[in-house]
Amino acid sequence: MSAIREYWRVTALVVLLLLSSVALFAPGLAEPAAEDGTVAQQSSATNLQYGLDLSGGARVRATVDGVTATGVNVTQDNQNEITQTVADELDLRLADVRARPGQNGGTVEAFGEVSESELQTALDNSGYEYDSVDPGVTEATRTDIVETLQAKIDASGFAAANVQDVQAQTGQGTHYIVVEAANRNVSEVTDLMTSRGVVTIYANFPRDGEQVNETVLSQEQLQEGQIGVPTTVRGGQPAVPVTLSDDVASQYAADMTEYGFADEGAGGTCEFENGSANEGDYCLLTVRDGEVVYSASVVEELGRSFANGEFVKDPSFVITATSMEEARQLNVDLRAGSLPAPLSVEDTFFMAPSMGSQFKTYSLITGILAVFAVSGAVFFRYREPRIALPMIVTALSEVYILLGFAATVNLALDLSHIAGLIAVVGTGVDDLVIIADEVMAEQVSSRRVFQSRFRKALWVIGAAAATTIIAMSPLAVLSLGDLRGFAIITILGVIVGVVVTRPAYGDILRRLLTMDR
């Protein structure tokens, strides 16, 4: 125990290496199953995940369709009124207009194909004053979009995928929603981004000699309940089990009874084709993004349960689909919610998996060459394996710990991260050389002398690390593409080095140089 206390820095390094090994190689820690039970594709023998550069995949960049009026007097009291009024003026759904109070004046956003002049006219006609109307949406809406897309990705089981709100550093500073997904093609990512995922259940029934549609369950009402895992029901039909909340179930049963679905004879056939049902049919329609994805009649037993109250006691049913893929998509939409605003794809990028595999091989070769080069230089300088070998092992341990961290947070490694890891090796060895040179400048006569020289070297290293972190911070914060990954890995490597590995090397060096003193 005394040795552990005396060399606690080495102990901390060993613990971190063990934890990194668990993160890198323990089965089941990477690519968690999606919420619908599907599992993402395993990327390698380790738990590391690779980005577009190293595994291939797609990057899609899109803008948000919408305009925003600022300086509108929006309060908690008139928020709903403004939303309803502007939506009526623009002939939009309530979900496509958002009025939000703010400290410096509220905002009113209109989503979709709405021009600035149209929103201005709507506000003028409604008598609401405003400061300006500009293209784009607010930061709050962009954050909602990013969170919703990330939730859809997580529920879909995409591996090594992420969503970002990126602002262009040139021109008008346009904001883009960027999705990067490894092992996916452009069409998959584009479908994910351009599909708003609005799921609604309509009742189609006869009234006054015509077939009419009435909304009986909105997406928000469905999400108040419980969404089950996609499954197959009787007859092999794919479906998503849903359990409604008590309030929604009561309203749903009342509506279905009012619309005649509990009447005798309503449980017959439902023929819904080309956007309309046969005259006199009672159909329940599942609509996604305005398109009917499934239609069916209500069985008589279920219809009777609406009227006699049995359905409210057990408000569970299934939303059927035409295929399991469609059922999974409905599940994702219901769990993650719908996008608050539509997106328009601006540009796409695709990296072939074969090319990504080549880059992965080249990166490995580059890393090995870097290690040999550094090792050769260190052995040439000190010509003592007991000094040089711990130095190289300690420097490589920084890389190992960073890889363990990447596996823990599911960081998708790309070429910028590899460049950062190589830079970490270089800066790490550089700092270790400073330590060795400082303490070995003269013969070490005692542990006290060693500690004095070591602290002096550590101050130099700490100052250099602080300079590096300050210099890299803007690159890590700003949206500068690949430079951001390089900066983040470099900063993390410097922090790990200063806090753990370089002090640990000091302990090892002290043990080697002061064993008998």
Query: What phi, psi does 465 have (nearest 5°)?
Result: -65, -40
**Confidence (pLDDT) at 169:** 66
Q: For the segment 258-311, what is each residue's pLDDT rounded down to a tens digit? A: 998 888 877 777 888 877 888 888 898 888 888 888 888 888 888 888 888 888
Confidence of residue 323 (pLDDT cuts 50, 70, 90): confident
Strands 175-182 and 161-167 turn out to be antiparallel
| Residue 38 predicted with pLDDT over 70 | no
The yes-or-no verdict on residue 32 having pLDDT over 70 is: no
- Checking if the pLDDT of 110 tops 80, the result is yes
- 3-class secondary structure for 436-473? HHHHCCCCCCCHHHHHHHHHHHHHHHHHHHHHHHHHHH
- Contact of 153 with 192, CB cutoff 8 Å: yes
Q: What does the pLDDT look like over 379-419, one tens digit per residue?
A: 888 888 888 888 888 888 988 999 999 888 878 788 888 88
Confidence label for 349 from pLDDT (cuts 50, 70 and 90): confident
* pLDDT score of 62 more than 90: yes
| pLDDT at 178 > cutoff 60 | yes
C-alpha of 353 from chain center: 22
* pLDDT surpasses 90 at 49: no
Rounded mean pLDDT of 161-185? Answer: 81
Reading the block at residue 20, the tokens are 């990194």
Between 413 and 44, name the one with better pLDDT: 413
Amino acid 160: pLDDT: 66
pLDDT at 16: 92
Contact 4, 504 (CB under 8 A): no
Long-range contacts, 248-252 (Cβ 8 Å, 24+): 248/217, 248/221, 248/222, 248/224, 248/315, 249/311, 249/312, 249/315, 250/312, 251/221, 252/216, 252/217, 252/221, 252/311, 252/315
pLDDT at 15: 92
Q: Largest Cα–Cα distance in the chain?
A: 105
Residue 67: pLDDT over 90: yes
pLDDT higher than threshold 70 for residue 44: no
Q: Which residues of 395-419 are buried (b: 16+ CB within 10 A; e: fewer)?
A: bbbbbbbbbbbbbbebbbbbbbbbb
Q: 444 falls in which pLDDT band (50, 70, 90)?
A: low
Instruction: Report whether pLDDT(20) > 80.
Output: yes
Ranked by mean pLDDT, the top range of 61-75, 462-476, 503-517 is 61-75
What amino acid occupies position 154?
D
Confidence of residue 141 (pLDDT cuts 50, 70, 90): very high
Phi and psi for 348 in degrees, rounded to 5?
A: -135, 160
Are 244 and 312 spatial neighbours (Cβ–Cβ below 8 Å)?
Answer: no
Tell which wins on pLDDT, 446 or 22: 22
* Virtual torsion, Cα 48, 49, 50, 52, nearest 10 deg: -170
pLDDT at residue 176 tops 50: yes
Q: Residue 26 corresponds to which tokens in the numbers above? A: 């323990």
Please report which helix (H) or strand (E) contains residue 211, including its range.
strand 210-217
Q: Is the pLDDT of residue 42 over 80?
A: no
Per the listing, tokens 């043990």 go with 511
What is the reported pLDDT for 339? 87
Average pLDDT along the chain: 84
- pLDDT the model gives residue 34: 47
